[in-house]
C-alpha cells in the first residue's frame, strides 16, 4: 500500500497540469510541481482561501467537499510573473477534493484575435461598400442625367472597388504566408538581384511622386536560402511604403551589407535597410507597426490605398526566413526599416 501511495505521489508530481488536493478543512495537503511554480513553494499547508480567493471557485470547492459535486470554473490567476486564465476542474476525492488547472490563456487570446480580425475586416470593407452603395443610389436618381457628376462618381467607385480588391489580395497573401511560416525555404537566391528588381519595378511610381531611388552596397551577389517571390514582396512593400509615406524627403535608399557574424542569428547574415528622409514616425507607434490593420495615420494610409496589412505580411515572411526585422525612426528625421536574414 505504501508503494502504491508513493507511485501515486510520483505520478501527481510529474503531471504537467497544476494540481492541488484540499482536505475537508479546505487546507492544501498536496501541491504538485506545476502548481508550486504558480502558487509558490509554500502553498502546501495553507488554507485554500489564502491561495485563491475567488467566489465562484470557492463555491465549487465547497460543493465538492460538502455534497460530492463536480464543477468546472473559469478563473484569472496571477502567478509566475504572468496572468493566466484557467479552467479549474473541482472533483471530490476521498475525504477531500482535487483541483486541476487547465491553462486556456492562449486559446482565449486566439479567440480575441479572431474576433478583432473579423471586426477589422468588416470595418475595412464596410467603408468602401457604403460609398459604392451611396454612389449607385445617386447615379440612379439625381445624377442620372448629369454626365459630369456621373464621371466623377464612377471614378470614385473605381477607386473604392480597387481598394477592396487590394484588401482581399492582401488577406489571401497573409493567409498563405502564415500557412507556410514553419516551412523553411530551400531555394538559394541572390538577394541583391531581388532588391534591384524591386527598385526597377517601383521607379516609375517613385518618379511620379518626385522621389529618387538609390541603391547602396549592391556590387556583388549575396546568395541565401529564400523564397524569391516572398522576399520580392518584402522589398517591394518596404520600398513602396517609403515612397508613399516617407517620400517628402525626396529620396529613398536601399542599402545592402553583409555581417560576418550576427549574434541573434548565430552566423553570417545579410542586412537590407530601406531608408527615407521623410517626416519620421513617433516612437510610440513603432512597437505596433506590424500589427494587422494598425496605421499611424489612418486617413492618409487609406488615401494612399493602404490596407494596413503590408507590414504584417512582411513580418511573417521574415519570420519564415528565420530573420529579424526592426524599425528605427524619429519624428522629423526619417525612418529606417531593417531586415536581417541568415546567409545559411
Distance CA 110, CA 142 (A): 48
- Domain boundaries, given as residue ranges, for the chain: 2-103, 107-179, 184-344
User: Using an 8 Å Cβ cutoff, are 7 and 14 in contact?
Assistant: no
238-254 residues labelled b (16+ CB within 10 A) or e (exposed): bbbbbbbbbbebebbbb
Which pLDDT tens digit goes with each residue over 175-196?
Answer: 888 888 888 888 999 999 999 9
pLDDT at position 126 is 84
| pTM across the whole model | 0.66
pLDDT at position 148 is 85
Cell numbers for 331: 519624428
pLDDT at position 3 is 44
User: Using an 8 Å Cβ cutoff, are 277 and 336 in contact?
Assistant: no
Ranges of the chain with pLDDT below 50? 1-3
Q: Which of 144, 149, 235 is nearest to 189 (CA)?
A: 235
| Fold observed for domain 184-344 | Heat Shock Protein 90 (3.30.565)
User: CA torsion, points 9, 14, 17, 19, in degrees to nearest 10?
Assistant: 20
Q: What is the DSSP letter of 132?
A: H
Cell numbers for 148: 459630369
pLDDT at position 5 is 58
- Domain spanning 107-179: CATH 3.40.50.970: no
CATH class entry, domain 2-103 = alpha beta
Q: Which residues pair with 267 in a beta bridge?
A: 262
Distance CA 299, CA 288 (A): 17
pLDDT at position 1 is 38
pLDDT at position 302 is 56
Cell numbers for 118: 473579423
pLDDT at position 245 is 86
Give helix 191-208 / helix 228-246 axis angle, nearest 10°: 30
**Cell 502548481 -> residue:** 35
pLDDT at position 287 is 86
Amino acid at each position: 500500500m505504501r508503494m502504491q501511495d508513493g507511485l501515486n505521489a510520483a505520478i501527481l508530481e510529474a503531471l504537467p497540469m497544476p494540481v492541488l488536493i484540499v482536505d475537508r478543512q479546505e487546507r492544501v495537503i498536496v501541491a504538485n510541481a506545476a502548481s508550486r511554480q504558480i502558487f509558490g513553494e509554500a502553498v502546501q499547508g495553507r488554507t485554500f482561501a489564502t491561495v485563491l480567493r475567488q467566489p465562484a471557485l470557492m463555491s465549487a470547492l465547497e460543493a465538492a467537499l460538502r455534497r460530492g459535486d463536480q464543477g468546472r470554473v473559469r478563473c484569472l490567476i496571477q502567478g509566475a510573473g504572468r496572468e493566466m486564465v484557467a479552467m479549474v476542474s473541482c472533483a471530490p476525492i476521498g475525504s477531500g477534493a482535487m483541483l486541476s488547472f487547465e491553462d486556456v490563456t492562449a486559446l482565449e487570446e486566439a479567440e480575441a484575435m479572431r474576433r478583432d480580425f473579423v471586426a477589422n475586416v468588416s470595418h475595412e470593407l464596410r467603408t468602401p461598400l457604403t460609398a459604392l452603395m451611396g454612389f449607385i443610389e445617386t447615379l440612379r436618381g439625381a445624377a442620372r442625367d448629369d454626365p459630369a457628376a456621373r464621371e466623377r462618381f464612377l471614378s470614385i467607385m473605381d477607386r473604392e472597388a480597387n481598394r477592396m480588391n487590394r484588401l482581399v489580395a492582401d488577406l489571401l497573401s497573409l493567409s498563405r504566408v502564415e500557412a507556410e511560416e514553419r516551412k523553411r525555404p530551400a531555394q538559394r537566391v541572390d538577394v541583391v538581384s531581388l532588391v534591384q528588381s524591386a527598385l526597377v519595378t517601383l521607379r516609375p511610381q517613385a518618379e511620379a511622386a518626385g522621389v529618387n531611388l538609390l541603391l547602396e552596397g549592391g556590387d556583388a551577389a549575396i546568395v541565401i536560402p529564400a523564397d524569391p517571390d516572398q522576399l520580392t514582396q518584402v522589398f517591394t512593400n518596404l520600398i513602396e511604403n517609403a515612397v508613399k509615406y516617407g517620400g517628402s524627403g525626396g529620396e529613398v535608399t536601399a542599402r545592402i551589407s553583409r555581417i560576418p557574424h550576427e549574434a541573434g542569428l548565430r552566423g553570417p547574415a545579410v542586412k537590407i535597410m530601406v531608408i527615407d528622409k521623410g517626416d519620421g514616425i513617433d516612437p510610440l507607434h513603432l512597437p505596433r507597426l506590424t500589427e494587422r490593420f494598425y496605421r499611424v495615420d489612418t486617413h492618409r494610409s487609406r488615401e494612399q490605398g493602404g490596407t494596413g496589412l503590408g507590414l504584417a505580411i512582411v513580418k511573417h515572411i521574415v519570420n519564415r526566413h528565420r530573420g529579424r526585422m526592426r524599425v528605427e525612426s524619429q519624428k522629423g528625421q526619417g525612418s529606417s526599416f531593417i531586415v536581417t536574414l541568415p546567409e545559411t
